[in-house]
Structure 1
């Protein structure tokens, strides 16, 4: 039976407002020592109290963003402020970069080797500055963004374990995130810097990491943009590639660039065709571009973020180009995702990790890598697009 646009819209909105956000509000707040617990089991019980800076910052961003863009609910702003207070007190090393992890009390556990702590701190304080009007938050977001740009060519710096000159490679993740990050804090930056950053990121993502012969995005290339016949050089990360495509679609709309939009949609569809598991359904986590065994033993797992990000890209692709393949894939990925990841009967939120057959591999709802970010952001993005399609009276291919 065909599902209506209205029903899809209601499903994404209700899951966001009545299931996912309440789960984090109920279970993640550390009222005694500040910040958020992210290691939550199926029912929301805390099973580890370490605090990971990027997940703390992502949760601050999520509640600030929803306060700014969806509804100015005081409880959302209170959540964001609670996390920000902890980050301000404990999150940074002396030179201003952000640690990777802390213990419950806020003492540092892992050095600031990971530039993504800085990326999400920038997003968090950028959104919170809008929500609160506080200039100190705005300045902190801006100075952290400048640090990211300064570290961009050597993100791990002295904490890199690679011997720099033997096989230098650059990774897709940072240019991908900068596509989104530059728009997140656009209100704080010089317009010329924003345009320059966007231009550089689009070039990196769509020309350098995109392999035109394959029609796919490589996760690592040599510094001059060539393939490397190595584990890292052959690596495909389908979820990363597809997530980046909705960032690119947003930029293409902003720039009135239909060719860029079409290319982003085509890469999304190419990646789905390549990475969809023909036997059990769902998207593989990692693949080798030559079909060799990947080095990641978890290569065939089905992950929450990969599937929700794919749904966003397909909906945006359909919204902006009307390509019926986007809608057909959306219905397919939606059906797979909603049948397996949500867990309303046991405390809410989504499972993060399924085995290849689509069964929950771990009972956790949050951990070291999964926090309050991809699911709520994805549900928000999807209900926005579906709401716009409804408002426009757009028919779907099945109608």
Structure 2
């Protein structure tokens, strides 16, 4: 398939269908905040709202605005942050986990994952609202300082709470790494602090998250950053192999770090060789550390991470190697497109079963962050070639 044509089709879907639909139906004009999901008829649900959805959607509309989308992105980008603060922010300064559709907090517990997305949203809001940049710098520094004081791991990275909950997880570190890379690039942010933290997470991932023998990146760990006992410690997610590979490439390009490129290439190889179902040509959810398939369900988000990693590898490669990565990116784009084929354009399916059928359920708002980022990354990388 023609990757340039696929990129144009995805961009059209985003700007003409998804952004307008999620602006109109995905933001609760009456009560404030972003909805958790939209059903396949195009109506918002009253499902409980995970706090991570709010800053993820703030990111989506802020980034769409930065890139020239002509719709009303400003009011929802700012309104989403107001709601996020009002509903989820705790006296500790951290953000809770879950609220109902009426904005009543249900679960105020700490999760590093949710704080990482708060930091990501601050960085993107600082870029599109210059008049609020000083505020975003202060909020970003404050939250980073609270994380260091509250749950810094004695060796590297962060624990899940204080006292620490087990298992420790690589996934929130991945999103914190992403927030660091975004923050260090914003003029006026504390570049030294964010770069130092990004470097720490990168080396933690290469030294502890990635298996020394196979190169695979694990999900769950004990307090010493050794694989968690039992099957849980053996879990390897293809989507995260791709997502970490993409982040490593971004970090390595800024730092000139060859080790990270080698590691990223191995992560991509694992994801592509073992995590793609040969019959359906989609990235599946879970492997074990021997690369056997543990969960054959394919969710939407790993397809976006496959696309992001493949196209960035292509942009950094030349000749036959570039053609190989472009072919992989085209497969990933085709896989993603199948999840976007819904009766109402601008929605998506989230889960494909092993038999190729899709689960009939509302489209989760949390997927928009993955989709939008993948489409913009595809455009940017093609422009570099």
**Same fold at TM > 0.5:** yes
Distance in 2 (CA, whole Å) between partners of 1:379 and 1:275 is 21
Distance 1:33 1:329, change over 3 A: same
Alignment of 1:114-263 (within 5 A): 114-133=111-130, 134=132, 135-150=134-149, 151-153=151-153, 154-157=159-162, 160=165, 162=166, 169-186=167-184, 187=186, 189-263=189-263
Residue 111 (1) aligns with residue 116 (2): no
Cα distance between partner residues in 2 of 1:379 and 1:246: 14
* Separation of aligned partners in 1, 2:99 and 2:91: 15
Match of 1:45 in 2: 43
- Contact 1:170/1:221, CA 8 A, preserved across alignment: yes
Question: In the alignment, is the contact (CA less than 8 A) between 2:286 and 2:293 conserved in 1?
Answer: no
Range with greater deviation from structure 2 (91-100 or 380-389): 380-389
Shift, 1:32, TM fit: 0.9
Q: Distance in 1 between matches of 2:11 and 2:233?
A: 39
| Deviation for aligned residue 1:293 | 7.9
Distance 1:74 1:353 in 2: 29
Q: Which residue of 2 aligns with 1:85?
A: 82
Residue of structure 2 in register with 1:388 after alignment: 384
Matches within 5 A, 1:22-41: 22-41=20-39
Provide closer, same or farther for how the CA distance between residues 327 and 212 of structure 1 changes in structure 2, counting only shifts above 3 A. Answer: farther
1:306 counterpart residue number: 302
Q: Is the 8 A contact 1:55 1:371 kept in 2?
A: no
Q: For 1:18-64, what per-residue CA distance to the aligned partner results, in whole angstroms no more than 9, with x for missing partners?
A: 12212211211111111111221112212324222110111011111
Distance in 2 separating the partners of 1:95 and 1:224:
27
Secondary structure at 1:379 match in 2: helix
State the shift of 1:352 in Å: 1.0
CA distance in 1, matches of 2:348, 2:152: 33
Distance 1:184 1:212, change over 3 A: same
Give the CA deviation at 1:72: 6.7
RMSD (Å), alpha carbons: 2.3
Written as runs of structure 1 = structure 2, the 5 A alignment for 1:290-305 is 290=290, 294=294, 299-305=295-301
Matches within 5 A, 1:2-17: 2-3=1-2, 5-17=3-15
CA distance in 2, matches of 1:246, 1:291: 20
2:377 and 2:124 mapped to 1: Cα distance?
Answer: 16
Spell out, residue by residue over 1:188-244, the C-alpha distance to the aligned partner (whole angstroms, 9 max, x if none).
543332232122111112221111322311222444444455122111111112111
More relative contact order, 1 or 2 (CA 8 Å, 6+ apart): 1
2:265 matched residue in structure 1:
265
Give matches, 1:274-289, under 5 Å.
274-289=274-289
- Gapped regions of structure 1 (runs ≥ 5): 163-168, 390-399
Using structure 2 for the length normalisation, give the TM-score: 0.89
Aligned mates of 2:87, 2:32 — CA distance in 1: 10
1:268: Cα distance to partner? 0.6
CA contact (8 A) 1:175 1:204 kept: no
TM-score by length of structure 1 reads 0.86
SS in 2 for 1:212: coil
Instruction: State the 1:288 CA deviation.
Output: 1.6
- Asked if 2 retains the 8 angstrom alpha-carbon contact of 1:19 and 1:344, the reply is no
CA offsets, 1:146-193, max 9 Å, x none?
223332432233584x5xxxxxx4321133222211122223543332
Runs of 5+ in structure 2 lacking a partner? 154-158
